[in-house]
Amino acid sequence: MILKIRDEKKYALMRNRVFKHMLKTRGWKYRAFLRYLRFFKYAAFAPTRGEFLESYYVLMRFLDDVVDGDAPLPEGYLNESDYILEKIRFSKNMINPKDEVDYLILYCFELAEKFGEDFQTETEDILNSLLFDAKRRGKMIIFSKKKLMHHFHLLDIRGTIRATLKVFKDDPDKYELLEPLGVACRYQYDIEDIEADLAAGYVNISQEDCALFHILDEDLIAPLSLKIKKWMHQRAKDGLELLKEHHRRLHLGHFSLLERWTFLLVYEFPARKVFKKILLETKKS
């Protein structure tokens, strides 16, 4: 589908609005990543792929912020679940766009067509993962490790990593080799966002870990409790082991130099920094 001039204006409006929101609410977290996305356009001599990567990131980041309550729910929807369900439906047929998000989805898919890729499967994975979050928001439900890992596998590994590999013109099925890196990043987010997640009613501590660390309901409303600090300490130790496993597997994928630098700078370094910081802070605990 070729976007008309008026459609491109709606896309530009949407992206600029999301950029401002992202930098206002969590600028510390997004600025470095956005700088890398723009650098990629020139380092890889791939402006179209770079434009897609930047636009796709903005799209998914905005939807995630709506689900988490960091961005207001657009008018006309009963709740976040209805909103994400509508976006899942639109991403499958892309007929009659209703708002700026729909136009941004169209724009991303059109960019993908220009470099011969299709991100339908990856988009469905990520949106279904966001739907899982939307349905559990505010409910403080404690899920099994298997259920949580299925959710995070769709989001952080099968969805996000497959999409990244396609942008790099690599085999998306290599995502399985990068699973340790994807899980390590999930552990990083679990640690970084523990207070915000629990405040929003998300429990990313599994039933098994709650039993292991004797975490009770009263601990979940006090995210800096000693029991949760012990869980975070173990999460950080496990995360560092996952990064070691990532390096043991990395050579099997014959990844390009640009890919390896991306894995290192965008994913591994931030995760390692968080793990070491938490281990230092929770050592006495």
Chain centroid, CA 186 distance in Å: 9
The C-alpha atoms of residue 253 and residue 255 are separated, in whole angstroms, by: 5
Higher pLDDT, 264 or 5: 264
Amino acid identity for residue 188 in this structure: Q
pLDDT at 5 over 50: no
Q: Name the residue with tokens 């993908």.
A: 112
Mean pLDDT of the chain: 86
For 6-33, how does the pLDDT look when each residue is reduced to its tens digit (9 = 90+)? Answer: 466 666 666 666 666 665 655 555 566 6
Look up the pTM and report it: 0.86
3-class secondary structure, 81: helix
Q: Give the integer Cα–Cα distance in Å for 26 and 15.
A: 16
Residue 149 has pLDDT above 60, yes or no: yes
Mean pLDDT for the stretch of residues 85-103:
90
pLDDT tens track for 109-134:
999 999 999 999 999 999 999 999 99
Contact 18, 61 (CB under 8 A): yes
Q: How far is Cα 155 from Cα 125, in angstroms, rounded to an integer?
A: 6
Summarised one tens digit per residue, pLDDT across range 47-64 is 888 888 888 888 888 898
Render pLDDT for 195-205 as a digit per residue (tens, 0 to 9).
Answer: 989 999 999 99
